[in-house]
Amino acid sequence: MLKFLQLAFRNVFRNRRRTVMTLLMVGGGVAGLLLVGGFFAFMFRGLRESTIRNGLGHIQIFNAEHFRRDEVHVLDTGISDWQHVASNVRSADHVRGVAPRIEFYGMLSNGVKSSVFMGSAVDPDAERAMSFSPRLAAGRDLARASSGEVEALVGTGVARSMSVKVGDGLTILAVTADGALNGIDVQIVGIVNTGFKDLDDRYLRITLPSAQRLLQSDRVTNLVVGLDKTENTDAVAAAFTPRLSGLSQEMTMKKWIDLAAYYKQVRTLFSGIFLFLGIIVFFMVLMASVNTLLMAMMERTREIGTMLAMGTPRPWIVALFMLEATITGILGAAVGLIGGNLIGIALNASGLHLPPPPGLSTEMAFRVLHVPALMIGASTMVVISLALASILPAVRASRLQIAEALAHV
């Protein structure tokens, strides 16, 4: 068996130039997949973390009624005893903080022009404790204890359409929990760029007490929980279950992945693109390898005839060709892994940035993550491609007529 392996290994390097070309082709395929897949992985991770840190959090806790029926009045499916619920979950492992939120909507006006907003009321200190800071284009974040003025952050699109800047005032109007119309004046302390243009055109953020005064309710829409690591989400969610039972209101929780619809759409789209790319690479490696192996078979026709004449079982010839192709695949994968990772390191060090993708308003860093699962997957794929590519030449070689093969020139 060892001799047979030696024979296969030496045959791989019999025609060095052709082997080098094959290894470069196979390695190029692996490196290409590592770079594209590594970039996609970076993009997914960036999108995941930015989605979480832009306010989604890792876990959100709701009144179970919130998902059973539509609200008749604002916050009537909110959490009433939210301080008690928050203290119950805050003590769990891996929890960095718990932030109450109110999601509401209404109209805002600069006295001349009115526009619809989607509002979010937060506890600024609790948000900052979990690094959920809004991405400010100008001004500062909200302060918990303000000087009497109601502070507000608005999106870049709102600021542009309402022609306001930091320090200007706006009036916001909303329907209260009792169904009445209420309004308060706010002072803009910061302009926010969320990265999503549609959101920037409707974004408004005020403090929780201000929103509760505006909406005439002490309830909150949900509690947003931030964790030390995204990878701990499932474990923490499991630990929350007993802590959320037996309360005055029935509670339910959603993990970030359940709420991140945009993230899921992007991931599905790019995973599809990556799969398509993988299939193309697979067929490129397959076709080119079939050609190379057929050439090798033709060149060795007389040698195969000699081996068969000496009584070599035909399955051995098939196994020999498949072994040679598998060795080539393994070496090619190694070349690709080394090359792909080195190019990835070089690209990461170059500090490249890409233009903003559709729907986003900021440049995107170009980074390549080194993903072990991707390395194993890409390597396995090319090894299988080579092994499959060798079947046709191997079977042809094994079926050679000995007398004809020995007479082959």
Partner 1 sequence: MNTTDALVSVEQVTRLFPLDHNAVTALDGLSLTIAHAEFLAISGPSGSGKSTLLNLIGCIDKPTSGRIFIEGVDTSRLSPSETSVLRREKIGFVFQTFNLIPVFTAAENVEYPLLVQGISGSDRRRRVTQALDNVGLSARAHHRPDLLSGGERQRVAIARAIVHRPALVLADEPTANLDTRNATQLIELMRDLNHTLGLTFIFSTHDQRLLEHTPRIVHLTDGRIESDTISETSHAEVLAASVS
Binding stretches for partner 1 (CB under 8 A): 3-4, 6-7, 10-11, 14, 302-303, 305-314, 316, 401-403, 406
CB of 233 to partner 1, least distance (A): 56
CB of 7 to partner 1, least distance (A): 7
**11 or 249, CB closer to partner 1?**
11
**293 or 337, CB closer to partner 1?**
293
CB of 9 to partner 1, least distance (A): 9
CB of 12 to partner 1, least distance (A): 9
**14 or 229, CB closer to partner 1?**
14
CB of 228 to partner 1, least distance (A): 57
Q: What is the 3-state secondary structure (H, E, C) of the chain?
A: CHHHHHHHHHHHCCCHHHHHHHHHHHHHHHHHHHHHHHHHHHHHHHHHHHHHHHHHCCEEEEEHHHHCCCCCCCCCCCECCHHHHHHHHHCCCCEEEEEEEEEEEEEEECCCCEEEEEEEEECHHHHHHCCCCCCEEEECCCCCCCCCCEEEEEEHHHHHHHCCCCCCEEEEEEECCCCCEEEEEEEEEEEECCCEHHHHCCEEEEEHHHHHHHHCCCCECEEEEEECCHHHHHHHHHHHHHHCCCCCCCEEEEEHHHHCHHHHHHHHHHHHHHHHHHHHHHHHHHHHHHHHHHHHHHHCHHHHHHHHHCCCCHHHHHHHHHHHHHHHHHHHHHHHHHHHHHHHHHHHHHCCEECCCCCECCCEECCCCCCHHHHHHHHHHHHHHHHHHCHHHHHHHHCCCHHHHHCCC
**10 or 160, CB closer to partner 1?**
10
Q: Using alpha carbons, select from 356, 377, 351 the residue that is nearest to residue 33.
A: 377
CB of 314 to partner 1, least distance (A): 8
**11 or 292, CB closer to partner 1?**
11
**6 or 380, CB closer to partner 1?**
6
**305 or 329, CB closer to partner 1?**
305
CB of 2 to partner 1, least distance (A): 9
CB of 384 to partner 1, least distance (A): 26
